Amino acid sequence: MSVFIAYNSSLHITQKKDKLLSKYNLICLLQYTEQEKDPKFWNAWAQRTLKNALTLQELNKNKAKNLILFLGDGMGVPTVTAARILKGQLNGQNGEETQLEMDKFPFVSLSKTYNTNAQVPDSAGTATAYLCGVKANEGTVGVSAAAVRSQCNTTQGNEVTSILKWAKDAGKSVGIVTTTRVNHATPSAAYAHCVDRDWYSDNEMPAEALQAGCKDIARQLFENIPNIDVIMGGGRKYMFPKNASDIEYPNILKHSGTRKDGRNLVEEWVDRMRNKNGRYVWNKTQLLTLNPNNVDYLLGLFEPGDMTYDLERNTESDPSLTEMVDVAIKILKKNPSGFYLLVEGGRIDHGHHEGKAKQALHEAVEMDRAIGRAGLLTSDHETLTIVTADHSHVFSFGGYTPRGNTIFGLAPMLSDVDQKPFTSILYGNGPGYKVINGARENVSTGNNYQAQAAVPLNAETHGGEDVAVFAKGPLAHLLHGVHEQNYIPHVMAYAACIGQNREHCMSSSGSAGLRPAFSIVATILSAARLLC
């Protein structure tokens, strides 16, 4: 333990700076550890959990009015565990015993993430799976595996539609909220049919693809499903003519418009929605001053590219994921037919690719806050909420760290090979591989510290293992065991009676086979009146 204290001294400074552990909190931790020594503590906790589990034998078989999918991009199981510990430590706890909002969901399963042509997948092929219900090739969105990446002529005839479109066609309101560009891999599979995920605007497309009639993803956002009710995220520059100055960064060329066709897609959207209670916003103040009751369509583009990491976010001008989700649900839930909402914590993935675990984990914690906020605004009786990831990363943490060790801290021993300290968090590959004078680099701290990696790469890679699927609400129990990733939208559609299998929603007498949640509430109220 003396080695742990000595070599974590610099990290204790970081803890003080971040206010992770005050003297008061440290005393609380010691008291908590004392009660853990008593077997009664663990037995009582397990009994409470058992009683709660027994209540789940009454399955929720209501018809889902609302559907919400939270997608943590790159949020593999090690990331979920580490984010749980971080959440607890940010609240002055040890961390390990903390519950994430997703931990509270009653049903958990595993999803197999491979693409049709890749053992370790990318975010485009996986998005096509969990949004469109079919597995696809890496790098392609909204098209089947018959389409070949970057070959425009393989698009036509191979398009597949998403659950967002199924919901829209059924009369529901639909929304997309992301911390990446709104035309990035994950959100684009909800509305686009594109053989290359990188065709953000026509500027990124080869001339032959444009001549062959393929459309860029930004254009498809507004044309394929023209009345998406809520769209929020980054990606502003792909909507404006080439070299058009950005409203927030007017003197920075890399943030200027990219479109070669000269179109202003935002202006076109505003004109189309002028008499439909549509609003366009580009900063937090504009977003939070909206009255959701007076807004039916919302387009929010808060950065030229991806939104900034939550740790670096300007809290005065940039909304958090939680704030965006709050406004989105308040607008969407006005529809008596319900809604479908896709929420992506997209920069978890970016933090890992850069080897910046602190950025990635704070992004995951922020997404968990958004999950909590969504839970407060909806009811499990009528809302099916699913939390999952598209893929994992080669991220891990270990080293026999003691209870309550800061998740970004050191292992309690030196390496018995090079006699240097090492952090608990490590990557299998990535930019954190550094050798100085033939030896492993010493560790340091900071928000942008790149954790050490075993293999040198400019960008860390995805992982190929299964990812968790957390579910609550109507028919959430259908997500159990181990499933193919493309199973997810089929469950959501079945629960809401949209898409291809709706026969179960009608009984032989013509009445609904699944019970609307309001009918259950009405039954309870009627029974209460009779008892009074």
* Residues with catalytic roles: 123
Q: Is 306 annotated as a binding residue?
A: no
Q: Is 122 annotated as a binding residue?
A: no
For residue 444, count other CB atoms closer than 10 A to its CB: 10
Torsion of CA 98, 100, 106, 112, to 10 degrees: -120
- CA distances 521 to 382, 412, 515, 527, Å, are 11, 55, 11, 10
For residue 157, count other CB atoms closer than 10 A to its CB: 9
Nearest to 104 by CA among 175, 56, 68: 56
Q: Is 352 annotated as a binding residue?
A: no
Exposed, middle or buried by CB within 10 Å (0-12, 13-18, 19+), for 71? buried
Q: Is 480 annotated as a binding residue?
A: no
Structure tokens at 445: 């701290």
Nearest to 235 by CA among 195, 159, 315, 176: 176
> What residue type is 487 in one-letter code?
Y
Q: How far apart are the C-alpha atoms of 222 and 244, rounded to whole Å?
A: 20
Q: Is 186 annotated as a binding residue?
A: yes
Q: Is 255 annotated as a binding residue?
A: no
414 and 420 Cβ atoms separated by less than 8 Å: yes
- CA distances 478 to 59, 301, 412, 513, Å, are 10, 36, 43, 17
Q: Is 73 annotated as a binding residue?
A: yes
Q: Is 184 annotated as a binding residue?
A: yes
Q: Which residue has the tokens 């026969």?
A: 503
Q: Is 81 annotated as a binding residue?
A: no
102 and 471 Cβ atoms separated by less than 8 Å: no
The vertex-221 CA angle with 124 and 237, nearest 5°, equals 90
Half-sphere exposure for 139 (CA within 13 Å, toward CB): 14
Q: How far apart are the C-alpha atoms of 20 and 510, rounded to whole Å?
A: 58
Which residues line the annotated binding site for Mg(2+)? Answer: 184, 186, 344
Which residues line the annotated binding site for Zn(2+)? Answer: 73, 349, 353, 390-391, 462
Which residues line the annotated binding site? Answer: 73, 184, 186, 344, 349, 353, 390-391, 462
